[in-house]
Every structure is written in structure tokens, then in C-alpha cells.
């Protein structure tokens, strides 16, 4: 391996400052966040839980909230529809459940860590070491600061934003960690490789540097030329990558359905449509899981739930999930749609996002061919999908803005008359059916046509 001085690395232009619409600090259990349907509390789990514990959380969401639960893109469980009093009562009740609650610094790894047959290494020992060294610094770090420890394997966290990311790589016959600052695995700034022995202490040094700079500083802001970083002597402990290792093990989408784990158990991955479900249906799944012998389950990235147990138990739960409205395969168009609660569920919503999403999943099969990410956002806050999507519908007072390959805050190419979202999706579906060439995906087709042609087609269809 050759060594490149850390100082020569430039900040990627993709890591632009967050827009003024960015959300505030994470709504942790003791700091619920105000949303359009009341207060929202986040239950962040550091380890798997039993089915009966999920069942109990569902009961609590009905007792104290509005009986609607979310699993977020970053694997957190959220309980919605609370008020000032019920949020306090819920916190007390949740703390009595003896759940493995994650407190302090958010250090994330795969829900299959330690059981995944394809992982490069179990990320938990390094993750635990980082949690321990981050504990005294937590108050001085940005509230949303996150560290991702990617051990490789079936469920990857490459697409999640992280202030500091460590990705396991075998290099020269030894375990190393690729250190990346800010962004996703693809867009973040790759600093280089650290040895397994040095990984925790290098991360601790970076966290201490961030703590010294204060809670507004994020991983993407770290300047390798800063004297504070120079004094850390990272140059001696970080070695630059060969072109091969820089692009090693590209990200892949997490599979749905059953897959084997190390040892005798199987895993099952299913997802919640729009990342949300009523407590009764989630509790029913938990009850079937307990009855059939599922040993543990855990909220997973991308609004998913991973369950582990004997193969027969996983098959029975999959059968129940298929009949109960969960997403169980990539062929389900609902898997391509991100939608916030929208109008009726949230006071800020300007249109009914879930209803629109369900109609699109049923009637826009040409458009939703597996290549398109459709984001239906009730307003500009973009709660459901902070990142860019192929098509984003943003509810607003004067009409619904359409953004192509961007986020809710990006410039729209078209504004729809209010309440014509489903008609626009039908028109987009017709456009793709007519214009898509044999070798193209829907996304390729839309990109070739471009926003002007798409906008014209939408105007003609009115």
C-alpha cells in the first residue's frame, strides 16, 4: 500500500451545507419531537428484542399515542401521536420493559452483526469500543452525529449518511477499516485504511477533535489540514488505498424474504409500507412470531424488520406477513415508494400521501419497474426520505411541486394543481409506456426525456 498525506484530500462538493429545512436533533425517548400528529418518540435499540417485547411496545403505542408506529430509514422505532403528559408516561413505561436502549452517541451496525455468513468481520467489538470512548464526549458532540461500523455482509449501511464510517476490508491478509468522513460510503471523503488495532483510538481522536470544535461541527466539516488534526498524527496511522481496495465490495440492496445465518438459524427480512404500520397489525406479527418460535427481531435500515429463528418459524411468519400488508419482496412496487404520513395524519400535509402511494403502486406498474424511487412528501420538510429521489412530489399551499432527481428543497420542474397527484402519476406511467425503449429502465427513460419533456407531457394530460 502507498501512503498519501491526509492533508492533500479535498472536501467533496456533494457535501453541501444542509438546507434550512433540515430537521432538528433526533427525537430520542426523553426528548420527543413535535410533528403534525402530536409528539413523536424514538425508541433506538442497541440490540435485538424478543417478539413479546415488540408486542408490548405496540400496546404502549395504543395506550399513550395514536397507535401508529414507524420504523425509520435508520432502523429506529417511533411511537406517534403523543402529548406532553403521555410522552412522559410512555418514557417511564418503555424504561420498565428492560429493552436494550441505545443511549448517547449513535453508533450503528448491521442488525445481523455476528450472525451474518457473509460479513467480513463482526463489527460489534469495534462499535462497543467507540460507544465507550464516545460516552464522555456525547454532550459536546452534534446531537445527530453518527458513526457507522460496516462489517460487510447481507444488510449494508453504505447508503446511510455518517459523520464517521469504518468499513471492514481484508488487506494484505489482515483486517483493516476504511475510514470515511461525512456522506454515504460512496460520497463521503475516504481518508484511508487503519489497522484493526488502531481503529478505535483513531475514531476516539476524531470524536475528541469534533467535541473540541463544538456541537455544530459534523464529520463532513473536518479539515485534515486543521492544526488540531495535524497534531493527532493521523498521517502515521492512516494508509491510503490502492485503486482496488478503494472500490472493494460495492453496495447492494438488502434482500427480502428468508436467508441463512451462521449456525442453525434463518433470518427473515420484511418491510413496512411507507415505514409505518398500525399497532394492531404489528402486534399480530409479533404474536405469530412468538407462537412459531422466532427468537429475536430487530428494526433494520430502510424501514425493515429482521427476524431470526428456525427456518419453519421464518416461513410461517413470512406467510403471515404476505397476507397482512408487509412488503416481502422487491417486486412489490410499494418498496419503491417513500411517503410521509401526509394530510389527515399530519397538520403540515397538503395531500394524502399514503393514498396516493397505494394508487401508484396499483396503477403505475410501468413507471415503478424497480428503477425509480418515488418520494411523496406532504410538505417541504421531507420527513420520509431526506435524500434525493427519482421523482419527488412536494405538497405546498399553491400546489404540489415536482422535483426530478433531487430532494424536497430542490428547484421543482413543474407545479401541479392541488389534488391532481394521482392523475400526474397516471400520466407519467402512460409516458413511460409509450416512450421507454427495449433496453431502458423507467428511470433511464425519464432521464433521456428530461424535465422539460416530462413537464410538457403532464400539461397535455390535464
3-class SS string, the chain: CCCCCHHHCCCCCCCCCCCCCCCCCCCCCCCCEEECCEEEEEECECCCECHHHHHHHHHHHHHHCCCEEEECCECCEEEEEECHHHHHHHHHHHHCCCCCECCCCEEECCCCCCCCCCCCCCCHHHHHHHHHHHHHHHHHCCCCCEEEEECCCCCCCCCCCCCEEEEEEEECCEEEEEEEECCCCCCCEEEEEEEHHHHHHHHHHHHHHHHHHCCCCCHHHCCCCCHHHHHHCHHHHCECCCHHHHCCCCCCCCCCEEEECCCCCEEEEEECHHHEEEHHHHHHHHHHHHHHCCCEEEEEECCEEEEEECHHHHHHHHHHHHHCCCECCCCCHHHHEEECCCCCCCCCCCCCHHHHHHHHHHHCCCCCCCCCCEEEECCCCCCCCCCCEEEEEEEECCEEEEEEEECCCCCCCEEECCCCHHHHHHHHHHHHHHHCCCCCCHHHHHHHHHHHHHHHHHHHCC
Taking the complex as a whole, the smallest distance from the CB of residue 183 to ligand SF4 amounts, in Å, to: 23
Give the x-and-dash track for 13-42 against ligand SF4 (CB under 6 A).
-----------------------x------
| Binding span for ligand SF4 by CB under 6 A among 104-112, 219-227, 336-344, 450-458 | 336-344
Is there binding between residue 383 and ligand SF4 (CB under 6 A)? yes
Taking the complex as a whole, the smallest distance from the CB of residue 409 to ligand SF4 amounts, in Å, to: 12
Is there binding between residue 273 and ligand SF4 (CB under 6 A)? no
| Binding span for ligand SF4 by CB under 6 A among 147-155, 289-297, 339-347, 424-432 | 339-347
Is there binding between residue 377 and ligand SF4 (CB under 6 A)? yes
Taking the complex as a whole, the smallest distance from the CB of residue 349 to ligand SF4 amounts, in Å, to: 4
List the interface residues with ligand SF4, window 278-317 (CB under 6 A). Answer: none
The torsion defined by the Cα of 404, 405, 410 and 416, in degrees rounded to 10, comes to 20
Taking the complex as a whole, the smallest distance from the CB of residue 72 to ligand SF4 amounts, in Å, to: 12
Q: CB under 8 Å to 73, separation ≥6 — which residues?
A: 160, 275, 301, 302, 303, 385, 386
Distance (Å, rounded) from C-alpha 214 to C-alpha 245? Answer: 33
Is 129 buried (19+), middle (13-18) or exposed (0-12) by CB count in 10 A?
Answer: middle
Is there binding between residue 346 and ligand SF4 (CB under 6 A)? yes
Q: Which is nearer to ligand SF4, 66 or 128 (CB)?
A: 66
Q: Which is nearer to ligand SF4, 151 or 341 (CB)?
A: 341
Size of the site for ligand SF4 (CB under 6 A): 13
- Out of 40, 379, 389, 445, the only residue in the binding site for ligand SF4 (CB under 6 A) is 379
Is there binding between residue 349 and ligand SF4 (CB under 6 A)? yes
Is there binding between residue 342 and ligand SF4 (CB under 6 A)? yes
Taking the complex as a whole, the smallest distance from the CB of residue 359 to ligand SF4 amounts, in Å, to: 18
Three cell numbers written together for 41: 418518540
Taking the complex as a whole, the smallest distance from the CB of residue 220 to ligand SF4 amounts, in Å, to: 24
Q: Which is nearer to ligand SF4, 176 or 350 (CB)?
A: 350
Taking the complex as a whole, the smallest distance from the CB of residue 403 to ligand SF4 amounts, in Å, to: 14
| Binding span for ligand SF4 by CB under 6 A among 103-111, 301-309, 380-388, 412-420 | 380-388
Name residue, grid cell 422535483. Answer: 403
Is there binding between residue 412 and ligand SF4 (CB under 6 A)? no
| Binding span for ligand SF4 by CB under 6 A among 87-95, 118-126, 267-275, 344-352 | 344-352
Q: Are 462 and 418 within 8 A, CB to CB?
A: no
Taking the complex as a whole, the smallest distance from the CB of residue 214 to ligand SF4 amounts, in Å, to: 28
Taking the complex as a whole, the smallest distance from the CB of residue 184 to ligand SF4 amounts, in Å, to: 22
Is there binding between residue 376 and ligand SF4 (CB under 6 A)? no
| Binding span for ligand SF4 by CB under 6 A among 223-231, 273-281, 342-350, 364-372 | 342-350
Is there binding between residue 378 and ligand SF4 (CB under 6 A)? yes
| Binding span for ligand SF4 by CB under 6 A among 118-126, 173-181, 194-202, 343-351 | 343-351
List the interface residues with ligand SF4, window 36-75 (CB under 6 A). Answer: 36
Is there binding between residue 386 and ligand SF4 (CB under 6 A)? no
Taking the complex as a whole, the smallest distance from the CB of residue 357 to ligand SF4 amounts, in Å, to: 12
- Out of 48, 182, 382, 386, the only residue in the binding site for ligand SF4 (CB under 6 A) is 382
Interface residues with ligand SF4 (CB under 6 A) are 36, 340-342, 346, 348-349, 377-379, 381-383
Amino acid at each position: 500500500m502507498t501512503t498519501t498525506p491526509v492533508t492533500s484530500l479535498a472536501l467533496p462538493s456533494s457535501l453541501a451545507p444542509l438546507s434550512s429545512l433540515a430537521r432538528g436533533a433526533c427525537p430520542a425517548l426523553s426528548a420527543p419531537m413535535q410533528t403534525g400528529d402530536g409528539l413523536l418518540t424514538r425508541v433506538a435499540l442497541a440490540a435485538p428484542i424478543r417478539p413479546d417485547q415488540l408486542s408490548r411496545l405496540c400496546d404502549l403505542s395504543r395506550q399513550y399515542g395514536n397507535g401508529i408506529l414507524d420504523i425509520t430509514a435508520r432502523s429506529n422505532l417511533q411511537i406517534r401521536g403523543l402529548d406532553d403528559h403521555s410522552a412522559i408516561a410512555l418514557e417511564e413505561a418503555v424504561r420498565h420493559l428492560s429493552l436494550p436502549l441505545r443511549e448517547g452517541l449513535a453508533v450503528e451496525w448491521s442488525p445481523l452483526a455476528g450472525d451474518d455468513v457473509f460479513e467480513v468481520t463482526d463489527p460489534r467489538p469495534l462499535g462497543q469500543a467507540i460507544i465507550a470512548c464516545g460516552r464522555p464526549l456525547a454532550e459536546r458532540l452534534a446531537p445527530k452525529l453518527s458513526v457507522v461500523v460496516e462489517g460487510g455482509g447481507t444488510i449494508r449501511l453504505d447508503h446511510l449518511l455518517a459523520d464517521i464510517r469504518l468499513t471492514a476490508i481484508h488487506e494484505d491478509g489482515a483486517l483493516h477499516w476504511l475510514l470515511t468522513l461525512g456522506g454515504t460510503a460512496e460520497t463521503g471523503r475516504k481518508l484511508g485504511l487503519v489497522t484493526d488495532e488502531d481503529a478505535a483510538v483513531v475514531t476516539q481522536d476524531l470524536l475528541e477533535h469534533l467535541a473540541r470544535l463544538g456541537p455544530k461541527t459534523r464529520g463532513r466539516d473536518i479539515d485534515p489540514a486543521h492544526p488540531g488534526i495535524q497534531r493527532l498524527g493521523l498521517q502515521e496511522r492512516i494508509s491510503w488505498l490502492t485503486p482496488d481496495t478503494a472500490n472493494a465490495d460495492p453496495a447492494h440492496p438488502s434482500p427480502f424474504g428468508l436467508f441463512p445465518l451462521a449456525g442453525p438459524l434463518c433470518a427473515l427480512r420484511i418491510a413496512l409500507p411507507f415505514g409505518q404500520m398500525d399497532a394492531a397489525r404489528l402486534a399480530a406479527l409479533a404474536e405469530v412470531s412468538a407462537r412459531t418460535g422466532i427468537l429475536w427481531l430487530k428494526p433494520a435500515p430502510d424501514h425493515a424488520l429482521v427476524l431470526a429463528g428456525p427456518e419453519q418459524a421464518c416461513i410461517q411468519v413470512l406467510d403471515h406477513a404476505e397476507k397482512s400488508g408487509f412488503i416481502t419482496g422487491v417486486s412489490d412496487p410499494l418498496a419503491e415508494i417513500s411517503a410521509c404520513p401526509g394530510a389527515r395524519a399530519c397538520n403540515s400535509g397538503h395531500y394524502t400521501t399514503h393514498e396516493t402511494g397505494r394508487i401508484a403502486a396499483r396503477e403505475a406498474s410501468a413507471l415503478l419497474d424497480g428503477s425509480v424511487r418515488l418520494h411523496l412528501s406532504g410538505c417541504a420538510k421531507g420527513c420520509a426520505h431526506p435524500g434525493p429521489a427519482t421523482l419527488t412530489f412536494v405538497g405546498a399551499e399553491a400546489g404540489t411541486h415536482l422535483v426530478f432527481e433531487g430532494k424536497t428543497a430542490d428547484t421543482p420542474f413543474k407545479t401541479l394543481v392541488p389534488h391532481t397527484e394521482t392523475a400526474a402519476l397516471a400520466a407519467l406511467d402512460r409516458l413511460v409506456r409509450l416512450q421507454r425503449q427495449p433496453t431502458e429502465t423507467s428511470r433511464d427513460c425519464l432521464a433521456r426525456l428530461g424535465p422539460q419533456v416530462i413537464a410538457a407531457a403532464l400539461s397535455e394530460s390535464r
